[in-house]
């Protein structure tokens, strides 16, 4: 009978035992909130391809796009807990861990991509990247998305007066709140994965995002107006769980870093390409009324928002603001 098998002793498995590496690859979960056809989504997939190739399958990367695994808040918590190994949140969303990163939301801080990339090379930014160590997160790379634009559903946003009484979705943080307050508008922090519904249902009237996020989230279906202002940045810090990374052999660590460096080059190319492609797509779609503000119109916004720098200097630090301004020279 079955009960006689093994006679109460554990069955021997010696003949089927194999070294762990041969049977089970090390799984790296990479969770993000945007679609797969964005710069971040494509680069996450590129990283997977490169790392699996370089480690001959010893490491396996599982990419979860579109908040499938975790939304904004959860991905950050789960990355610290080690339940997901890599995330690439928008910089702003790290405000709870280090409020200094809100430099990214200072209005009209960077004139172009070049200035942003230059700032990322600065000592000030390296310190920011390392500041997440104490939260079990190691900064691996900076990935751009692009400049933010305003969209809304009520009226074209051409002057600060047009913002009065409207409510906007923000990613996180006091600087974005102050930006909208300065314009006489309200704001609410809403997770990226819930923003389309919030816009559709009129919980908020508008939002700010890059051309590519507006395009790939199909905000053109629920927002009538887009103002091209380039007033702020949306970029990412790629973070890996510290304990996980430190537990890898030096060879595997090297493969992670090399794959990330290659994926980062690719991400930058994609961000620049898709930013333009998405604007074209939005124009071609014909659903939104798109207005490029003139330098004079933008000047009005810039002047109105200038006090935000003084208001947040002590929170963000003079060192970080100066480094960003220097990079823009
Ligand atoms: C947003 O919440 O608008 C963005 O941070 C989403 C993203 O990851 O690009």
Answer whether residue 11 shows pLDDT above 70: no
CA of 32 to the centre of ligand 1 (A): 9
CA of 16 to the centre of ligand 1 (A): 47
Q: What is the mean pLDDT of residues 231-255?
A: 98
CA of 191 to the centre of ligand 1 (A): 8
CA of 291 to the centre of ligand 1 (A): 23
d(CA 129, CA 260): 15
DSSP 289: E
CA of 91 to the centre of ligand 1 (A): 9
- Testing ligand 1's pocket by substitution, the residue of 213, 215, 232 carrying the most ligand atoms inside 8 A of its CB is 213
- Strands 225-241 and 86-87 turn out to be antiparallel
The model's pLDDT over 110-132, given as tens digits with 9 standing for 90+, comes to 999 999 999 999 999 999 999 99
CA of 18 to the centre of ligand 1 (A): 43
SS3 84: coil
CA of 33 to the centre of ligand 1 (A): 7
Ligand 1, CB cutoff 6 Å, lining residues: 33-34, 90, 145, 171, 192, 209, 213, 234
Instruction: Tell me which residue of 80, 47, 81 sits closest to 62, measured CA to CA.
Output: 47
The model's pLDDT over 275-315, given as tens digits with 9 standing for 90+, comes to 999 999 999 999 999 999 999 999 999 999 999 999 999 99
Q: Which atom of ligand 1 is nearest to the CA of 38?
A: 9
CA of 192 to the centre of ligand 1 (A): 6
Q: Is 197 exposed, middle or buried (0-12, 13-18, 19+ CB in 10 A)?
A: exposed
Ranking 8-12, 22-26, 118-122 by mean pLDDT, the lowest is 8-12
Q: Which atom of ligand 1 is nearest to the CA of 145?
A: 9
Q: What is the mean pLDDT of residues 38-54?
A: 98
* pLDDT at 1 (0 to 100): 38
Answer whether residue 12 shows pLDDT above 50: no
**Nearest residue (CA) to ligand 1, atom 5:** 90
Q: Which atom of ligand 1 is nearest to the CA of 192?
A: 2
Answer whether residue 65 shows pLDDT above 50: yes
Answer whether residue 8 shows pLDDT above 60: no
Residues 6+ apart with CB under 8 A from 20: none
Q: What is the mean pLDDT of residues 173-194?
A: 98
d(CA 170, CA 297): 23
* pLDDT tier at 10, thresholds 50, 70, 90: very low
Q: What is the pTM of this model?
A: 0.92
d(CA 48, CA 24): 17
* pLDDT at 19 (0 to 100): 56
Q: Which atom of ligand 1 is nearest to the CA of 171?
A: 2
Answer whether residue 7 shows pLDDT above 70: no
d(CA 78, CA 99): 20
Q: For tokens 């679609």, what's the residue?
A: 35
* pLDDT at 9 (0 to 100): 43
Is ipTM > 0.90 here? yes
* pLDDT tier at 14, thresholds 50, 70, 90: very low
* pLDDT at 22 (0 to 100): 64
- Testing ligand 1's pocket by substitution, the residue of 31, 33, 101, 198 carrying the most ligand atoms inside 8 A of its CB is 33
Q: Which atom of ligand 1 is nearest to the CA of 209?
A: 3
* pLDDT at 15 (0 to 100): 46
CA of 90 to the centre of ligand 1 (A): 6
- Testing ligand 1's pocket by substitution, the residue of 35, 73, 90 carrying the most ligand atoms inside 8 A of its CB is 90
Answer whether residue 321 shows pLDDT above 90: yes
């Amino acid at each position: 009978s079955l009960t006689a098998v093994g006679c109460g002793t554990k069955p021997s498995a010696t003949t089927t035992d194999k070294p762990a590496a041969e049977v089970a690859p090390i799984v790296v979960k990479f969770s993000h909130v945007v679609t797969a056809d964005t710069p971040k989504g494509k680069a996450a997939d590129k990283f997977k391809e490169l790392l699996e190739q370089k480690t001959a399958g010893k490491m396996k990367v599982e990419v979860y796009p579109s908040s499938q695994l975790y939304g904004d808040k959860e991905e950050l918590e789960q990355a610290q807990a080690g339940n997901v190994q890599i995330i690439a949140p928008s910089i702003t969303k790290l405000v709870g861990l280090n409020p200094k990163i809100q430099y990214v939301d200072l209005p009209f801080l960077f004139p172009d991509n070049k200035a942003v990339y230059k700032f990322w090379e600065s000592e000030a930014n390296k310190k920011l990247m390392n500041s997440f160590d104490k939260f079990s997160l190691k900064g691996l790379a900076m990935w751009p998305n692009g400049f933010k634009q305003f969209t809304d559903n009520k009226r074209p946003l051409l002057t600060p007066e047009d913002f009065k009484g409207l409510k906007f979705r923000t990613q996180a943080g006091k600087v974005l709140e102050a930006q909208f307050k300065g314009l006489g508008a309200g704001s609410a922090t809403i997770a990226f994965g819930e923003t389309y519904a919030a816009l559709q249902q009129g919980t908020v009237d508008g939002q700010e995002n890059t051309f590519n996020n507006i395009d790939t989230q199909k905000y053109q279906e629920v927002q009538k107006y887009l103002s091209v202002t380039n007033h702020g940045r949306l970029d990412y810090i790629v973070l890996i769980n510290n304990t996980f990374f430190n537990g890898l052999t030096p060879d595997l660590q090297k493969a992670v870093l090399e794959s990330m460096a290659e994926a980062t080059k690719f991400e930058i190319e994609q961000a620049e390409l898709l930013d333009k492609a998405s604007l074209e797509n939005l124009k071609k779609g014909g659903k939104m009324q798109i207005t490029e503000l003139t330098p004079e119109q933008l000047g009005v916004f810039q002047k109105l928002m200038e006090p935000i720098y003084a208001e947040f200097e002590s929170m963000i630090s003079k060192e970080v603001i100066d480094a960003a301004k220097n990079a823009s020279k």
